Amino acid sequence: MSDPTILTIVLNYKTAEMTLKAVEAARIAMEGLPGEIVVVDNDSQDGSYETLSARVTAQGRDNIRVIQSGHNGGYGAGNNVGIRAGLSDGSRPDYIYILNSDAFPKPQAIRVLYDHLNTTPGTGFAGSYIEGEDEIRHITTFRFPSIWSEFERSVKLGPVSRLLKSHRVPDPRNSSGPVDWLAGASVMMRQDVLDEIGLFDETFFLYFEETDLCRRAQEAGHRVMFLQDSVVTHLGSVSTGMKEWSRVPDYWFNSRWHYFTKNHGRAYATLATALHLSGGGLHWLRCKVTRKPHGGAPHFLRTLARHDIAQLFTSKRDHKIKARSQTGD
């Protein structure tokens, strides 16, 4: 019986040179493992596809190929293009490995994930330990968002955070083990699990898509595991420009609302927003009284309230039409 195969997917959006570095790191980490790498250019329209194709062709590596998404439907949609492409001979891989274009696996990082899935049938997804270039750990293990995590996050008050510690979304781990969900910078997934639960929900343009996918996997009975020995260096937010955001973009609010309504219903989503606004309002008032800086994104609470009120009074039919338009169906 042949060894299980891996399809590594690297999604590019206007970062061709960095993507090539990620691909090279992945190629080295996949040495001795059966599989291929597919680079998906997510309709960059900046010459990325041509650059990537030319460089990969010049290197003459038959286990790396470059394809076009055809349109930029977001992170999940772009990765779905790679998943649906399968292996170059038309066969389906056993495992899908998602690697961000600004993430660089250490030589053993992919093998650690691969070996774990080979030996632990109950694990559906396995993710890496992520660190920055300074070797400082990035928090990429999380609990599922809830109404209480929304309040804890926005009120920013020590006693409340201690009281609601078990509801906080960030869930730092000092050892390998099961988690609710993992950031998608470096995650290996069983193809069989994806066949069972479906691919990334393409209604999410960016953010919350990994949260939703991990929730679906766990609801179907598959563990999501954090493996500390799989080490990946991650620059973070290069394609999205998150570090330079002056205001949170609309697609973040859209994704948040979709996550809560899809998984908990509109009433729960409304309550989550109400608690976030209540906590944020208390934090704003405390900052005013103490004359300390607010520290949040400009007009965040106002935008959140306006967005979610509009969504609440939008019919389900309109939501479905909007979702279809985002996925290109």
| pLDDT at res. 323 | 47
Averaged over 242-257, what is the pLDDT?
81
Taking alpha carbons only, the member of 16, 18, 17, 24 closest to residue 8 is: 24
Instruction: Extract the tokens encoding 160.
Output: 């409340």
Token pair listed for 114: 């691969």
pTM for the whole structure: 0.91
**Strands annotated E in the chain:** 6-12, 35-41, 64-68, 95-100, 103-105, 123-131, 141-142, 177-178, 181-182, 186-190, 223-234
128 neighbors 98 (Cβ within 8 angstroms): no
- What domains can you pick out in the chain, each with its CATH number? 6-240 (3.90.550.60), 244-327 (no CATH)
Q: Tell me the C-alpha distance between 147 and 268, whole Å.
A: 8
Neighbours of 286 (CB within 10 A): 14
Residue 5 DSSP symbol: P
pLDDT tens digits, one per residue of 292-301? 887 778 889 9
Which of 147 and 238 is assigned the larger pLDDT? 147
Q: Which residues pair with 299 in a beta bridge?
A: none
pLDDT, one tens digit per residue, over 13-55 is 999 999 999 999 999 999 999 999 999 999 999 999 999 999 9
> What b/e sequence results for 28-67 when a residue is b if at least 16 CB atoms lie within 10 Å of its CB, and e otherwise?
ebbeebebbbbbbbbbbeeebbebbbebbeeeeeeebbbb
| Model confidence band, residue 246 (pLDDT cutoffs 50, 70, 90) | low
Q: CA 213, CA 208: separation in Å to the nearest integer?
A: 9
Residue-level pLDDT at 238: 53
Cβ 297 vs Cβ 245: under 8 Å = yes
Mean pLDDT of the chain, nearest integer:
92
